[in-house]
Structure 1
Amino acid sequence: MATMDIFNNSAFSTTSLTGMIEKMDFKPSLLGSLGLFEPMPVRTRNIFVDRRDGKLTLIPTSADGSAPEVLESDDRDAVSLKTTRLAKQFTLYAHELDGIRGFGSETELAAVQAEYARRSKRIREDLELTHEHHRLGALQGKLLDADGTTVIYDFFSEFGENEEAAISFELDVATTDIRGLCHQLTRSMARTSRGAFTSSTSVHALVGDDFYDAMIKHPNVEKAYLNWSAAADLKENKAFGAFHYGGITWHNYRGTDDGSTVAIPTAEAKFFPVGARDVFKKAMAPLETMGFINTPGRDVYMMNVPDRDRNMWSKGEIYSYPLYICQQPRVLRKATLT
């Protein structure tokens, strides 16, 4: 019969558990799969984002022998931010080990590890959902807490930039030039990027259900949508699909089933660049223990906390210290259905 002493095994050390949780499969997510946020391991919770506003200017002609025009120094400052702290735990009680026995080739240690991993996976999935929530917030320029209203960071305010007003796509009007609106929006994003857009940069949109449905049924879009390879089989369910139109990749974003915890409002669209220079970053700070102090941060940590007084339980705790940052929120755009 397994006992609480089993947690003294090196398999339950912080290093071993962290390695296990990093390799554990979790449910995929759209924003995570895009590889949008450049990982930036840091050694402290406090970070500084260095900004340099170098503008391109024309050089005037000058007379032979005269002094050249002097290059003005770049406007430079630093924005102070702090990584978030995400933590959750479960408790494995001594009485729950009563039924764990080794059988076949499975040892008692393996059986306890399997139960431990099962509970860890549940928290890992919650953690990944929270990371997706933070990614979605950064894509909109405002990082919100789990309640959906508390603002952790307003990146427009932090970086001193103005948020553009929402564009009406007037999808309820049959004659609206949707392709023209797409081009205007893309040009606007590129011109305000101040060099962040490169030749490989593309514009993507996360779209709510009503916006997406109205978009693909609009008279000026429907034919292009039906010719898109992803819509070749008209009988196939294309809910939560994606297609390319007007130079923009449109994703019918699938969030949580309640339509609110992690979601895009049904009649809205959020636009952001993929492959732009220094727009999105993900800072990762280290675990707040002596063993990991001043080490490069990892995506997730796990540790075991035993009951040293009564030996009645052991707690599995998962920690993550990310900060998803939009360093140039001026390139973000949003739109409404009408």
Structure 2
Amino acid sequence: MNLQDLFTVANLTAAVNKLPAIPGKVGAMGLFDEKGVTSTSVIIDEREGRLVLVPNTSRNDDPAPVKGNKRKRRTFETLHLPISRPILPSQLQGIAAFGQESATAPIATVINDHLQDLKNSIETTREFQRVGALRGQLLDADGSLLFDLFDEFDVQQKSVTVALGSPNTNVRKACLDAKRHAESKLGGVMVTGFRSFCGPDWFDAFTDHAKVKEAFAHYQEAQDRIGGDLRNGFTFGGIQFIEYDVTVSGQRFIPADVAQVFPIARGVFRLFNAPANYNETVNTLGQPYYSKAEPRKMGKGWDLEAQANPLALCLFPEALVELKAG
């Protein structure tokens, strides 16, 4: 294989998708159902009465009819996340062993190293979008608003201030109310649990509250015995609270004084991947990552690009609950 063949869309895209991804906490949970689409837009149909209870009927009778549901159709454009860097001749020159006839394998290693760096930045951005879907607002790299899912689905955001500074606050009741609210908005969707990603200020105030401290002390003792990290999850009131203290390019993924509560349920969170904007990928099924390279001016190396075209959505944003430390 010559050098030109290494830089085709097919070879680079295959390579970048095979390279290890380093997912964040949301990506590692497998919460989002991920699928490829053939267009750059995603159409979401919302039907009233998503689930119904089927009545018991005599075997000799006709089945109970289901009324036609009103339908709302919404269109979302997928994001376009390209990033590039040059590969210069000096980075490829002299890497073959003395007397070696072909330098293809070492050059492939150099290319993969560059691709890995680009992929890591893209995966961090995909994680940022997944967290945005959990919070109901998708943000750009500069913090500007891309999609407000509460506005898009015409629902109200549920935000509750919990007075963690007061020892009399019933924190368990606040947790139960958050769960009940989410369950009431899911229309019968099967929920297997609840989790919350917390900023550091919330987590510290929460675990130090008078009505939480004793439970946290018992949990802490158990974690000390097995050498666990206390920030990786503390269950209280039926919600697993996990500290999520990540800031990239000045953007904090979860506000410091917030605990974002969300349900664990299939079909609630989706991640769509659209095809890249290359001639070779028009109308093909989208993949998580793409890559391509082209020669630089005067043949002085190559410009290597990697990109993703994701759209992370919560289809039930009304079921998300934001708890703010008060």
Normalising by structure 1, we get a TM-score of: 0.86
User: How far apart are 1:305 and its partner, in Å?
Assistant: 1.2
Indicate which of 290, 293, 296 corresponds to 1:304. Answer: 293
Residue number in structure 2 paired with 1:316: 304
Residue number in structure 2 paired with 1:138: 133
Provide the rounded CA distance (Å) in 1 between the counterparts of 2:298 and 2:266: 54
Residue number in structure 1 paired with 2:33: 38
User: How far apart are 1:301 and its partner, in Å?
Assistant: 0.7
User: How far apart are 1:151 and its partner, in Å?
Assistant: 1.3
Provide the rounded CA distance (Å) in 1 between the counterparts of 2:52 and 2:233: 40
Give 5+ residue unaligned stretches, structure 2. 54-63
Alignment of 1:254 with 2:248, yes or no, is: no
Q: How does 1:52-67 map to 2 (within 5 A)?
A: 52-54=47-49
Alignment of 1:202 with 2:198, yes or no, is: no
Residue number in structure 2 paired with 1:264: 254
C-alpha contact 1:7 1:306 (8 A) present in aligned 2: no
Provide the rounded CA distance (Å) in 2 between the counterparts of 1:303 and 1:143: 27
Give 5+ residue unaligned stretches, structure 1. 59-68
Indicate which of 169, 185, 188 corresponds to 1:192. Answer: 185
C-alpha contact 1:231 1:238 (8 A) present in aligned 2: no
2:245 is paired with a residue of what secondary structure? coil
1:154 partner amino acid: D
CA change 1:230–1:292 in 2 (3 A) is: farther
User: How far apart are 1:201 and its partner, in Å?
Assistant: 2.4
Provide the rounded CA distance (Å) in 2 between the counterparts of 1:297 and 1:255: 28
Indicate which of 13, 17, 24 corresponds to 2:12. Answer: 17
CA change 1:145–1:56 in 2 (3 A) is: closer
Provide the rounded CA distance (Å) in 1 between the counterparts of 2:226 and 2:65: 66
User: How far apart are 1:100 and its partner, in Å?
Assistant: 2.8
CA change 1:104–1:117 in 2 (3 A) is: farther
CA change 1:111–1:180 in 2 (3 A) is: same
C-alpha contact 1:285 1:321 (8 A) present in aligned 2: yes
Q: What is the CA deviation profile of residues 51-83 of structure 1, one whole-angstrom value per residue up to 9, with x for unaligned ones?
A: 10117899xxxxxxxxxx986421112101111
Q: How does 1:1-338 map to 2 (within 5 A)?
A: 6-8=2-4, 10-54=5-49, 72-103=67-98, 107-148=102-143, 150-164=144-158, 166-196=159-189, 198=190, 200-228=191-219, 231-233=222-224, 238=229, 240-256=231-247, 260-274=250-264, 276-307=265-296, 310-338=298-326
User: How far apart are 1:116 and its partner, in Å?
Assistant: 1.4
1:91 is paired with a residue of what secondary structure? strand
User: How far apart are 1:227 and its partner, in Å?
Assistant: 2.1
More divergent stretch after superposition (70-79 vs 14-23): 70-79
Provide the aligned C-alpha RMSD in A: 2.8
Provide the rounded CA distance (Å) in 2 between the counterparts of 1:104 and 1:216: 64
Q: What is the CA deviation profile of residues 203-262 of structure 1, one whole-angstrom value per residue up to 9, with x for unaligned ones?
A: 11110111101111212112212222785318968463211111001010131377x424
Provide the rounded CA distance (Å) in 2 between the counterparts of 1:320 and 1:57: 38
User: How far apart are 1:190 and its partner, in Å?
Assistant: 0.3
User: How far apart are 1:292 and its partner, in Å?
Assistant: 1.9
Residue number in structure 2 paired with 1:66: none
CA change 1:103–1:187 in 2 (3 A) is: farther
Normalising by structure 2, we get a TM-score of: 0.89
CA change 1:56–1:113 in 2 (3 A) is: closer
Q: What is the CA deviation profile of residues 281-309 of structure 1, one whole-angstrom value per residue up to 9, with x for unaligned ones?
A: 111111222322222110001112123x6
C-alpha contact 2:260 2:322 (8 A) present in aligned 1: yes
Provide the rounded CA distance (Å) in 1 between the counterparts of 2:311 and 2:52: 35
C-alpha contact 2:220 2:230 (8 A) present in aligned 1: no
Which one has a larger percent helix, Structure 1 or Structure 2? 2
Provide the rounded CA distance (Å) in 1 between the counterparts of 2:259 and 2:281: 41
User: How far apart are 1:103 and its partner, in Å?
Assistant: 4.9
Provide the rounded CA distance (Å) in 2 between the counterparts of 1:264 and 1:106: 53
C-alpha contact 1:102 1:111 (8 A) present in aligned 2: no
Provide the rounded CA distance (Å) in 2 between the counterparts of 1:266 and 1:29: 18
C-alpha contact 1:284 1:323 (8 A) present in aligned 2: yes
2:106 partner amino acid: A
CA change 1:220–1:119 in 2 (3 A) is: same
Provide the rounded CA distance (Å) in 2 between the counterparts of 1:262 and 1:116: 31
